[in-house]
Structure 1
Amino acid sequence: MIRSDARELGWGRFIWQFITILLVYFIAQIPPALIWGFTTADGQFSITSTGAAVSTAGGMAGALLMAWYWLRRDDAVEQAWNLKAPTSWSTTLGWAVAATVAIIGWFTLGAMLVEAIGLTTPDVGQVLGWVTESPFQFALWIVMVAFFSAGFGEELLWRGYLMDRLSRLGGLRGKVWPIILIQAILFGLPHAYQGLGGVIITGVVGIGLGWLRFHNKGNLWACIIAHVAVDTIMMSLSYATKLGIMPAT
């Protein structure tokens, strides 16, 4: 996945790049939040469903732009963001389907396991409430979040940019599993708002997707398709439940 003549990356430069991407990610979320936000009667700031979706997409767009800047500086865009047509689309789709089934199964099993050991299970009620607010909001969240922010954005950022950066660091070059585990931990930490259980469950998903990228020799399509499919399925099931098409659990 990394050429033998690829430029090494120092830890200081890596940390600086990562910090700038995080800063841009959060800053880019502010304008949509202000535009579609409002203050409740008790003085609390809240945000509409549209604001949450656009803010999420805006933050991801900013982060990807910053990541692209750093990758371009290191002449590493094509290596990190390997979106070339795979050798076999049927094989890629097969791996994507397998990953989709595994991730959805893990969400169910993982929630049971973290609850069994006394940890808080992820609560995505607020998000799904936004998603199922109306047909328009459902379509908006599918396009801007399931497809762009999560499916393409998170895979380009975590499995693409981050794994490329880690692969170039002194002490990590050529070490597949340390790279997979570190990116999975960093992928899980932003889900701390879901409690430790959410971090663990998401981190395990990151391990699986990280392995899938290595297995596909750096090509990201299987990871992207699986991620898009998982989020689309989960949102669709929630909306179908609200419409009464699916029984509530």
Structure 2
Amino acid sequence: MPLRVLLLAGLALMWTFVEAGRLAPVGVRRHGWRATLLWTGGVTGTGILFGEVGQPLLEWLLATHVDYSGYGVLVGNERAALQLLAYALTSAAIGEEVLFRGFFLHQVTAIFGEGAAARRGAILASGAFFGVAHFIQGWLGILFTGLMGVVFAWAWFRSGRNLWSLIMAHALIDIYGIAMIYLGRYN
């Protein structure tokens, strides 16, 4: 699966380049490093806070849990955790951000315009697709990941399409999550 995501991301970048002659429309362009770091920190902090507070609250309210059983092999298994981390830093952080934020949001706004309604629809659709892509975590995982997808999509627009900050935030959130699974906190 990870190689497919990277392949699709590569195709999306090629499509964008052929279409626009540059990659800026998906957010692959120079952004100020201070703004990039601020957006990275804000999105990362939101993701970790939501994971530590929002997810348990949702689990309690809905009397169910996000299904992390598919990751059970990672608990205490350094090799498996490092292997997943390598996939997460490439396929998830880079591939998913290029596809679900940069490419998808650019294409939706290219079709429907840059108006507020089009952006809101694009944000919600991006979050929904992102959530469904994480079906391995069960329906609550789809909901939780979908909500984070909405946060990421909102941040893509608000940051001036700063894809770099989202790639770094996604990487940091995945590092944190994999570490928590490795340590036995999520299982």
TM normalised by structure 2 equals: 0.85
Q: Which residue of 2 aligns with 1:81?
A: 26
Could you tell me how far apart the structure 2 residues matched to 1:76 and 1:184 are? 28
C-alpha offsets along residues 211-241 of structure 1, whole Å, 9 cap, x if unaligned?
A: 11111111211111110001011212333x2
* 1:55-94 correspondence to structure 2 within 5 Å: 56-75=1-20, 77-87=22-32, 89-94=33-38
Could you say which residue in structure 2 is the equivalent of 1:20? Answer: none
1:165-197 residue CA offsets vs partner (Å, 9 max, x unmatched): 111123x54232222111111111122332221
Note if contact 1:119-1:197 (Cα within 8 Å) is conserved in structure 2. no
Deviations 1:67-102 (A, max 9, x none): 234323422651343232312x12321221121121
Mapped contact 1:82–1:220 kept (Cα < 8 A): yes
Question: Taking CA–CA contacts closer than 8 Å with sequence separation of 6 or more, which of the two structures ends up with the larger relative contact order?
Answer: 2
TM (norm. structure 1) is 0.65
Q: Which has the larger radius of gyration?
A: 1
Percent sequence identity is 24
**8 Å Cα contact 1:163-1:183 kept in structure 2:** yes
- 1:224 is matched with 167
**Counterpart for residue 44 of structure 2:** 100
**5 Å matches for 1:148-167?**
148-167=90-109
- The answer to whether structure 1 residue 112 and structure 2 residue 78 are counterparts is no
Paired residues of 1:130 and 1:137 also in contact (CA < 8 A): yes
Contact 2:12 2:99 in 1 (8 A): yes
Hey, what's the Cα distance between the residues in 1 that align with 2:64 and 2:186?
21
Unmatched segments (≥5 aa) in structure 1: 1-55
RMSD: 2.5
- Provide the C-alpha distance between the structure 2 equivalents of 1:91 and 1:128, rounded to a whole number of angstroms: 37
Q: How many residues align?
A: 185
Q: Tell me the CA shift for residue 133 of structure 1.
A: 2.5
Change (3 A) 1:248 1:119: closer
Amino acid in the other structure paired with 1:156: V
